Amino acid sequence: MPVAKIKKKAQRPSVKRKPRRAKKQAMSKIQQAASYDLEDLLVEMVINSKEKALNGTDIENLIYGATGGLALMGYGFGFSVGRALTLKLGPTTPLNAILDRIGLHDSLYYPLKEKVIITSRPNASKNLPSMGKGVHLYEAGVISGYLSTSTGVHVNAYEKRCVYNGAEKCMFEASPSSKKPEFAGNGINNTTRAIALALTRSRYHKLKNEYYRVLAYLPLMDSRISEQITKLMIISGERIGEIQEDAKPDSLASNLANYFGAKDAGVEKKGIKTIIKLRYESYNSLQAFIAMPAAVMSGFAKSTGRSSDVHFTTNKDGTYTIVIALYKKRI
């Protein structure tokens, strides 16, 4: 008996210590990113990731386009990433190679005398809502950062045509300018409706590795604006109830898991309430990030006359879970 116990104790560290170390390393990177050392983290992911695109779905673009302030933030973050990538990879790296890694594919580059035209096909869904031009602000910022760094002259870039406005491809125009770009944003109403439509579409793009999904949202984690983003997501959830009367919590939970990088989604019914669980890996568990899908579901519950209750729990295996209870009627 004593020998068996000693063997078990000797075996435990060799089996369990490795995954614990990996989790701590992943969390430290996110904590580093939350401290606004974002460029190094994203550059590392762009260069080393096996996934072809790191910019994910359309939702982060829609969030950035909600207001002028968020638009400028998305553009500025993209500029920092474009600059950092150019410094890391070297100015001889083709622009289309960088754009392909952030989700803009089949890029064509037309250098003209006073400006540059770039056309690309983004990672976007079919049957997109009409949002007008200037939706891909983060990508425009990456183009600006790349051109400014590689030429030594400050270059502003903006999206002149967009698939959100019926174009076959997005077209960006870039030209030297000493002025900072100004953005009006597409408005809360357009943005929340577009997010609602994206979250209720029947077919969605499922990616194998969701780690990158946090990256596009990191600039939005600032405590000064995270509350505003939460409100935006609540309104989007309310819109889902308005535009789809037959929307069910089960399918919505699956879409939320997909768009917000959850490892899996589970739905179970207990008496008068429906329990929805979205489970996240430790590296995808910034609370301000995982609060977004909870806010969408809370807004959806409100629009359908239900009440909701949200809890965040930590699991023994290092993952995190959002537990959302939807009641049949207000309590």
pLDDT in tens, 280-299: 877 666 777 788 888 999 99
Tokens of 198: 């994206």
User: Does the structural domain 16-37+188-331 have CATH classification 3.30.70?
Assistant: no
DSSP state for residue 53 in the 8-state scheme: -
What is the average per-residue pLDDT within 75-99?
A: 87
208 or 150, higher pLDDT: 150
Rounded to whole angstroms, what are the CA distances from 40 to 32, 35, 136, 239, 244? Answer: 10, 12, 22, 37, 41
**Residue 60 CB contacts under 8 Å (≥ 6 apart), including other chains:** 74, 138, 216, 217, 220
pLDDT for the residue 181 = 86
Residue 7: pLDDT over 70:
no
pLDDT for the residue 159 = 92
Nearest to 213 by CA among 30, 13, 18: 30
Residue 178: pLDDT over 90:
no
What is the average per-residue pLDDT within 1-14?
A: 39
Whole-number Å distance between alpha carbons of 61 and 318: 30
> Strand order of the sheet with strand 116-122?
104-111, 116-122, 170-176, 155-161
Q: Is the dihedral of CA 90, 84, 118, 163 positive or negative?
A: positive
Is residue 209 within 8 A of residue 50, CB to CB? The reply is yes
Structure confidence at residue 150 as a pLDDT band (50, 70, 90): very high
Which of the given ranges, 33-42, 44-53, 98-107, 233-242, has the highest pLDDT on average? 233-242
What is the average per-residue pLDDT within 75-103?
A: 86
pLDDT for the residue 78 = 87
User: Does the structural domain 49-186 have CATH classification 3.30.1380.20?
Assistant: yes
Residue 147: pLDDT over 90:
yes
pLDDT for the residue 73 = 87
Domain with CATH 3.30.1380.20 in the chain: 49-186
pLDDT for the residue 12 = 43
Kindly report the pTM of this predicted structure.
Answer: 0.76
Q: Which of 13-27, 36-50, 272-286 has the lowest mean pLDDT?
A: 13-27
User: Tens of pLDDT along 216-261?
Assistant: 666 777 777 888 888 999 999 999 988 877 778 888 888 888 777 7
pLDDT for the residue 31 = 41
